[in-house]
A and B are shown apart, each in its own frame.
Chain A
Amino acid sequence: MMKEDVAETRKLLRKAAIAGVYTTEQGDLPERTTDELLLEAIEGALHDAGLTLDDVDGIAGGRSPTDSAATAFPGYWSELLGHPVRYYSTVDAAAAAHCGNMLHAALAVASGIANTVVVIGGGSREGSRQASVEKMAYAHGEFDVSWGTLVPSWFAMIARRHMHEYGTTSEQLAEIAVSTRKWAAMHPQAIMRQPLEIADVVGSRMISDPLHLLDCCLVNDGAGALVITRADHAADLRRKPIRILGGAEDYTFRGYVDVCHDWLSSGASYTGARSLEMAGIKHNEIDVLEIYDCFTITVMRMLEDLGFCGLGEGGAFVQDGRLRPGGALPTNTHGGGLSWGHSFSGLAHAIEAVRQLRGECGERQVAGAQTSLVHSQGGPTAMHSTVVLSAN
């Protein structure tokens, strides 16, 4: 089994740094293709770093429920770049992929397999919106397809069980939608920026009880990219390098397939604890928290398992507004999948963490932000990856 010691990984991660980030427009973009959105994101992130396509020798990512299969083939990228890709990897773990992809990219750079890896995510649904939902229904397999469940139903059952065990309320879940919207209101790219109150969330139409429409993330088109290069190289580039202090992955079980599982524990307990141990920092030293938010309950459960509060305490923990702007634990400061956009959610959270740590977030900047924990989750709380980022 695995080594308990985190020092070796920490040492390697020090040799890599995040040098550039980019997000395309978010929204309903039927006229744009996945390939073209990803290319814009890659070039944008390289430009941000002060690099060009000529500098890229690795790609990480390139799969999501909405993307085209072509981008999962390394040769596709070699042809697009006009030179061979020497490193390619993608974690096929739905939204849990992103922090895993970042970790793998950083370790590839640290070990000398590649010099500059672009981590990508997102794409376009390309006019096949309902078709992709039907495909997803069958993808969940023989034990899920016949009952009229889809992703929201699974998270709804987690929420229902949480309510049963701990007395969690719809209003407490709604607070997560409200705090996230308050952040989105300060992001010019966010899709949903109009003010939102708890009553609006609990008054929105029910999707899968107890989850209302506004407990659910958006579904849209768009892409993003993040450049990881050698730390010594990053120091000479355009932007302040952001370091990856720690990270861990835990792909616990097959979501939607293997249901014989304790729904109130998850691999995030491991990834959170190990990432922080590797980083050598404590929960109360995290300035900005970015947690993948397909649903409000996802954030609440991950706050618990990542160790920001105890199991069952998520409702009380969020209800005082601590996740909001000005709160003690600024969370999903771009507006998350709930309000900013969900085209490549998970990586979007990491990109926002980088922008916060570089101090370039304008109105929504968390003053003096030096550290961030970013968590990617693949549903329903089945797969996890976490990174801890630092400005220093």
Chain B
Amino acid sequence: MNAYSKPLPIPSTLARPFWDALRAGELRLQNCRNCGRFNHPPKIVCPRCHGRDFEWKAVEPRGTIYSYTIVHRAPIPAFKAEVPYAVALVDIAGTEVRLLASLAAPLDQISVGLPVTVEFDHVTEEFSLFRFRPDFAEALK
């Protein structure tokens, strides 16, 4: 029984470990064993060193907001009930990776540079997404 009404990703074979890790409550990113670069989306060859030896490394589920938007007009009907809602691009700590996801935050308290944590969102019995939540305590440090 799938009560989740918004679109779910159709995972590619290459990115399946990313989604499986979310299911397990971890943020894992493709890491090049040769040069250490994190690649997202995952690639068949590292664009920096052209290496092909990768591992899926668990990274700290936190980062800072690079940019964000507050959506007032839902692009498709599935999001109509949610407007206005925030979406952010977040630089994931200790990596070259920037991820896009929903941002669960009071809309008047969002700013570029705000620290956030990655929350796992087990939306169906089979599938997990993630969202960002501001870490206001970290922001005050």
Q: A157, B8: Cβ atoms under 8 Å?
A: no
**A161 interface contact, C-beta 8 A:** yes
CA distance A161 to B68 in the complex (A): 8
Q: Give the one of B12, B79, B82, B84 with max A CB within 10 A.
A: B79
Which of A138, A149, A158 is close to B87, meaning CB atoms less than 8 Å apart?
Answer: A149
Nearest A residue to B10 by beta-carbon distance?
Answer: A142
How many residues belonging to B are interface residues under a CB distance threshold of 8 Å? 40
Q: Give the one of B10, B69, B70, B77 with max A CB within 10 A.
A: B69
Inter-chain contacts of A130 with B (CB < 8 A): 76-77
Shortest C-beta distance, B6 to chain A (Å), equals: 6
Which of A141, A156, A259 is close to B69, meaning CB atoms less than 8 Å apart?
Answer: A156
Q: Which of A133-155 contact B (CB under 8 A)?
A: 133-134, 137-138, 141-150, 152-153
Inter-chain contacts of B82 with A (CB < 8 A): 148
Interface string of B29-45 (1 = CB under 8 A from A): 00000000000110000
CA distance A152 to B78 in the complex (A): 17
Q: Which of B18-75 contact A (CB under 8 A)?
A: 19, 40-41, 66-75
Inter-chain contacts of B71 with A (CB < 8 A): 148-149, 153, 207-209
Q: A205, B72: Cβ atoms under 8 Å?
A: yes
Q: A208, B89: Cβ atoms under 8 Å?
A: no
Which 8 pairs from chain A and chain B are nearest by CB? Answer: A150-B75, A142-B9, A148-B79, A156-B69, A209-B70, A157-B67, A161-B67, A164-B112
Q: B102, A148: Cβ atoms under 8 Å?
A: yes
Shortest C-beta distance, B36 to chain A (Å), equals: 15
Count A-B pairs with CB separation below 8 Å: 117
Shortest C-beta distance, B110 to chain A (Å), equals: 10
CA distance A149 to B100 in the complex (A): 9
Inter-chain contacts of A148 with B (CB < 8 A): 6, 71, 74-76, 78-79, 82, 85, 87, 102
Interface string of B1-20 (1 = CB under 8 A from A): 00000111111100100010
Q: B12, A142: Cβ atoms under 8 Å?
A: yes
Q: B129, A146: Cβ atoms under 8 Å?
A: yes
Q: B9, A146: Cβ atoms under 8 Å?
A: yes
Inter-chain contacts of A161 with B (CB < 8 A): 66-67, 112
Q: B89, A259: Cβ atoms under 8 Å?
A: yes
**A206 interface contact, C-beta 8 A:** yes
**A263 interface contact, C-beta 8 A:** yes
**B93 interface contact, C-beta 8 A:** no
Q: A261, B76: Cβ atoms under 8 Å?
A: no
With known contacts A142-B15, A161-B67, A259–B76 Cβ distance under 8 A: no
How many residues belonging to A are interface residues under a CB distance threshold of 8 Å? 36
Shortest C-beta distance, A136 to chain B (Å), equals: 8
Shortest C-beta distance, B116 to chain A (Å), equals: 14
**A160 interface contact, C-beta 8 A:** yes
Pairs across A and B, CB under 8 Å, 15 listed: A130-B77, A142-B15, A146-B7, A148-B6, A148-B82, A148-B85, A148-B102, A150-B75, A158-B67, A164-B67, A209-B70, A257-B41, A259-B98, A259-B100, A263-B67
Which of B72, B78, B98 is close to A206, meaning CB atoms less than 8 Å apart?
Answer: B72
**B99 interface contact, C-beta 8 A:** yes
Interface string of A102-143 (1 = CB under 8 A from B): 000000000000000000000000000010011001100111
**B96 interface contact, C-beta 8 A:** yes
CA distance A105 to B113 in the complex (A): 45
Inter-chain contacts of A158 with B (CB < 8 A): 67
Inter-chain contacts of B73 with A (CB < 8 A): 152, 205-208
Inter-chain contacts of A152 with B (CB < 8 A): 73, 75
CA distance A150 to B71 in the complex (A): 9
CA distance A285 to B12 in the complex (A): 49
**B101 interface contact, C-beta 8 A:** yes
**B97 interface contact, C-beta 8 A:** yes
